[in-house]
């Protein structure tokens, strides 16, 4: 048990130090990809995904994932996913940067969403 606690502390320290050193800058994209929100919650480990008009699937990720520490409330609120209402079938335009983050869902590419517009408005 003692070693398990030490391991957990070590992992936590590594994680937090990586977050502290990371220079987080939010660059807005141009929202030039047209797509649709799809509900994959019935698929193990999935939630909502974005599917572009060419059939490519993206698992949306916040611009500040996984380290929102040190980010102002104003910047967090500027994140395209901050107040986004996920609705199956909703038409959107978005832009993204591919991420090397792991995925449990594994239905598409993990993408950091840099711009998002709800076309239903």
The whole-angstrom separation of Cα 52 and Cα 96 is: 11
CATH number reported for the structural domain that contains residue 38 in this entry: 2.40.50.500
Contact present, 32 and 93 (Cβ < 8 Å)? yes
pLDDT of 24-46, one tens digit each?
A: 444 566 899 999 999 999 998 89
9 within some domain: no
| Range of the structural domain that residue 30 is part of | 26-118
CA distance 53 to 66: 28
| Tokens, residue 63 | 């611009």
Asked if the structure places residue 14 within a domain, the reply is: no
- The pLDDT tens digits for 52-110 are 999 999 999 988 876 767 778 888 888 999 999 999 999 999 999 999 988 989 999 99
Which residues have C-beta within 8 Å of that of residue 66, sequence separation ≥ 6?
Answer: 15, 19, 101
Domain count of the fold of the chain? 1
For the whole prediction, is pTM greater than 0.85?
no
């Amino acid at each position: 048990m003692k070693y398990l606690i030490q391991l957990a502390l070590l992992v936590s320290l590594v994680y937090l130090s990586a977050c502290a050193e990371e220079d987080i800058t939010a660059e807005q994209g141009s929202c030039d990809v047209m797509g649709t929100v799809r509900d994959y919650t019935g698929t193990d480990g999935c939630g909502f995904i974005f599917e572009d008009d060419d059939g490519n699937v993206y698992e949306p990720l916040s611009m500040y994932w996984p380290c929102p520490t040190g980010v102002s409330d104003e910047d967090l609120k500027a994140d395209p996913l901050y107040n986004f209402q996920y609705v199956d079938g909703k038409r959107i335009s978005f832009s993204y940067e591919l991420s090397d983050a792991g995925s449990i869902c594994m239905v598409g590419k993990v993408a950091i969403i840099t711009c998002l517009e709800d076309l239903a408005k």
